[in-house]
Amino acid sequence: MATNYEQIIKSIAKGDIAPVYVLYGEELYLVQGIIHQLEEALFKDGVRDFNYHLFFGEDAGVEDIISAARTSPMLAPKRLVVVKNIQQLKPKPLDKLIDYIKRPACNTVLVLTGDKLANRKSWLTKVKKTDAVVVRFYALYDSRAIAWIKKRVKKEGYQISHEANQALVENTGTDLSAIEHQLEKLFAYCLDKKKISLEDVEQLVGRVRQYNIFQLIDAIGNKKLEPALHILSEILGGGSSPLAVLAMISRQLRRIYKAKCLQDAGGSWPEIASKIGLQSYFLKDFIAQSEHFSLPELRTSFTYLLDTDLRLKSSNLIPRLSLEFLLIKLCS
């Protein structure tokens, strides 16, 4: 069974199309790409209007969704039913969908999508026990966004310098919809030369990136002080609580400490990931982060974290300065 974007696309191309897909997570651009591929595969003879149904969780009734899925296709081998924002459905309607997913119509492809389905763990557990294809699409790390851009640019017959690629991610972020929007502008601007340079990116791409706590942790893990301070400024400017930021930093460093202890005891990385509750998607980047810290450094960092916690709760010092002092110590 397909477990990621590439595998799903390959399966669709081969005609191996599942009756039910549950596609969720932060990177909905890839989800939309899968829906587009399903449309291309199912409706080659121009019968899309008769056999494509789109619902939104905030408006749709589960009975209407199931009725559409149980309806026979017209002039086509299969019907495509897409439900977006599935997380907006209440628990009882979601449970009714389980009954359909267990016994889906053979001539319908049902696609359920949403960005916050991870909060419906019990429902997802039930779905995973069926034959449905269930895939979560995580927000990309910078390195993976850079790799995606390289492939996307090559597919269009262009080249992009590494510096330009890095600048595009730095300025735009890792949301693929935002990146695609900027690439379309760059493709048009560089149409004659077919090469995208750093100067092209600097001239056309405005700074629209919104940083989050996970990117801050990534910068700390790689001991990059200047980016870490910049990301901290962006996060605090966006309204995040200083104590929440500290809690996330603490959680990641405790994870790294536990992982390194397990590694010293002879554990393999897949085993370690399972024990610390780390998704396999993040394992490669987590390993890279952990290599920047020794066990003595981590033990010292816990002292820094405790001191910062006390300062945030009892000191008159500006919270931002307390966190900046912490980053200087962690990244040194």
Instruction: Check residues 217 and 259 and name the one with the higher pLDDT.
Output: 259
**Predicted confidence (pLDDT) at residue 278 exceeds the cutoff of 80:** no
Instruction: Check residues 268 and 211 and name the one with the higher pLDDT.
Output: 268
**Predicted confidence (pLDDT) at residue 206 exceeds the cutoff of 80:** no
**Predicted confidence (pLDDT) at residue 72 exceeds the cutoff of 70:** yes
CATH of the domain at 89: 3.40.50.300
CATH of the domain at 278: 1.20.272.10
Angle, helix 225-237 to helix 213-221, in steps of 10 degrees: 160
Please state the three-class secondary structure of the chain as a single string.
Answer: CCCCHHHHHHHHHCCCCCCEEEEEECCHHHHHHHHHHHHHHHCCCCCHHHHEEEEECCCCCHHHHHHHHHCCCCCCCCEEEEEECHHHCCHHHHHHHHHHHHCCCCCEEEEEEECCHHHCHHHHHHHHCCCCEEEEECCCCHHHHHHHHHHHHHHCCCEECHHHHHHHHHHHCCCHHHHHHHHHHHHHHCCCCCEECHHHHHHHCCCCCCCCHHHHHHHHHCCCHHHHHHHHHHHHHCCCCHHHHHHHHHHHHHHHHHHHHHHHCCCCHHHHHHHHCCCHHHHHHHHHHHCCCCHHHHHHHHHHHHHHHHHHHHCCCCHHHHHHHHHHHHHC
Residue 300: predicted pLDDT:
93
156 and 255 both lie in a single domain: no
Residue 287: predicted pLDDT:
87
Residue 281: predicted pLDDT:
65
pLDDT-derived band at 207 (thresholds 50, 70, 90) equals: low
Residue 245: predicted pLDDT:
87
Domain residues for the domain of 178 are 142-204
**Predicted confidence (pLDDT) at residue 178 exceeds the cutoff of 70:** yes
Mark which of 156, 180, 204 sits at the end of a domain: 204
9 and 131 both lie in a single domain: yes
Instruction: Check residues 74 and 279 and name the one with the higher pLDDT.
Output: 74
Q: What is the pTM of this model?
A: 0.69
Token pair belonging to 219? 């910068």
Mean pLDDT for the chain? 89
**Closest-CA residue to 52 (of 41, 115, 22, 6):** 41
Q: Calculate mean pLDDT across residues 226-248.
A: 87
Cα separation of 28 and 36, whole Å? 12
Instruction: Check residues 238 and 170 and name the one with the higher pLDDT.
Output: 170
Cα separation of 191 and 327, whole Å? 43
Residue 140: predicted pLDDT:
85
Cα separation of 251 and 257, whole Å? 10
**Predicted confidence (pLDDT) at residue 40 exceeds the cutoff of 70:** yes
**Predicted confidence (pLDDT) at residue 107 exceeds the cutoff of 90:** yes
Residue 248: predicted pLDDT:
83
130 and 10 both lie in a single domain: yes
**Predicted confidence (pLDDT) at residue 277 exceeds the cutoff of 80:** no
Residue 197: predicted pLDDT:
94
106 and 80 both lie in a single domain: yes
Q: Into how many domains does the chain fold?
A: 3
Token pair belonging to 256? 């790294």
291 and 327 both lie in a single domain: yes
226 and 323 both lie in a single domain: yes
Cα separation of 52 and 170, whole Å? 38
The torsion defined by the Cα of 52, 58, 64 and 66, in degrees rounded to 10, comes to: 80
Residue 285: predicted pLDDT:
81
Mark which of 114, 137, 160 sits at the end of a domain: 137
Q: Calculate mean pLDDT across residues 159-170.
A: 91
219 and 311 both lie in a single domain: yes
Other C-beta atoms closer than 10 Å to the C-beta of 112 total 27
For 294-313, how does the pLDDT look when each residue is reduced to its tens digit (9 = 90+)? 899 899 999 999 999 998 88
88 and 168 both lie in a single domain: no
Backbone angles phi, psi at 136, to 5 degrees: -100, 135
188 and 230 both lie in a single domain: no
Residue 260 near residue 298, CB atoms below 8 Å:
yes
**Predicted confidence (pLDDT) at residue 316 exceeds the cutoff of 80:** no
- Beta pairing, strands 159-160 & 133-137: unpaired
Percent of the chain topping pLDDT 70: 98
Q: Calculate mean pLDDT across residues 81-95.
A: 88
**Predicted confidence (pLDDT) at residue 273 exceeds the cutoff of 90:** no
61 and 93 both lie in a single domain: yes
* Cα separations in angstroms, 131 against 21, 102, 104: 9, 7, 10
Q: Calculate mean pLDDT across residues 69-85.
A: 92
CATH of the domain at 155: 1.10.8.60
**Predicted confidence (pLDDT) at residue 279 exceeds the cutoff of 90:** no
Q: Calculate mean pLDDT across residues 198-205.
A: 89
Instruction: Check residues 66 and 48 and name the one with the higher pLDDT.
Output: 66
Cα separation of 129 and 124, whole Å? 9
176 and 217 both lie in a single domain: no
| Range with lowest mean pLDDT among 44-48, 186-190, 233-237, 285-289 | 44-48
Residue 193's contacts (CB-CB under 8 Å, 6 or more residues apart) are none
151 and 120 both lie in a single domain: no
Mark which of 105, 137, 169 sits at the end of a domain: 137
